[in-house]
């Protein structure tokens, strides 16, 4: 412009570490969201491959929801479909999604009970260390236990 000023418009981010999730998807696939890995490589198409779009079209047959509350944020068609399928929810609080989940785990809160990294809205990473212990397990511990159980079942079935 004439004055040499620069500016950036960024949407306000929701709860949790939305920017962190976008960062991980971006550096691992090259795309920020709306990524389909079904063919073995990343394909980007917002409006087709976002979670809310897949749910609204009834394409998901189950959902694993981590530290998010789609039942409070997604479109009505997406919420209607989510209410019809098996949902496993990991969340430190009793969210609307946790209330409809077939299985809901209460987790430790990252940055308060567990270490990790969150990203500010301006994409600056902030390392976190726990301030208090929790009687609840972290998302990572629960997901690792689920993975181990699935692998055990696969080995015993094979």
Kindly list the distances between the CA atom of residue 62 and the CA atoms of 56, 58, 73, 82, 134, in Å, as whole numbers in the listed order. Answer: 13, 10, 18, 8, 29
Model confidence over 32-49: pLDDT tens digits?
Answer: 899 999 999 999 999 999
Sign for the CA dihedral angle at 136, 140, 144, 147 comes to positive
pLDDT by position in tens, the chain (length 158) = 577 776 655 666 666 677 888 888 999 999 989 999 999 999 999 999 999 999 999 999 999 999 899 999 999 999 999 999 999 999 999 999 999 999 999 999 988 999 988 888 788 899 999 999 999 999 999 999 999 999 999 999 97
Quickly count: other Cβ atoms within 10 Å of residue 43's Cβ. Answer: 14
Q: Which domains does the chain have, with CATH numbers?
A: 18-157 (3.40.50.740)
| Cut 0.75: pTM above it | yes
């Amino acid at each position: 412009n004439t004055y040499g000023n620069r500016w950036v418009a960024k949407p306000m981010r929701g709860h949790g570490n939305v920017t962190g999730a976008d960062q991980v998807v971006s550096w691992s696939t090259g795309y920020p969201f709306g990524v389909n890995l079904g063919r073995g490589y990343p394909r980007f198409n917002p409006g087709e491959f976002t979670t809310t779009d897949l749910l609204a079209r009834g394409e998901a047959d189950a959902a694993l929801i981590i530290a998010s509350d789609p039942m409070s944020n997604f479109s009505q068609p997406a919420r209607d479909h989510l209410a019809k399928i098996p949902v496993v929810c990991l969340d430190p609080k009793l969210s609307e999604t946790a209330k409809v989940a077939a299985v809901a785990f209460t987790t430790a809160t990252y940055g308060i009970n567990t270490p990790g990294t969150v990203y500010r809205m301006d994409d600056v990473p902030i390392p976190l260390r726990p301030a208090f212990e929790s009687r609840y397990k972290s998302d990572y511990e629960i997901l690792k236990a689920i993975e181990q159980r699935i692998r055990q079942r696969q080995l015993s079935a094979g």
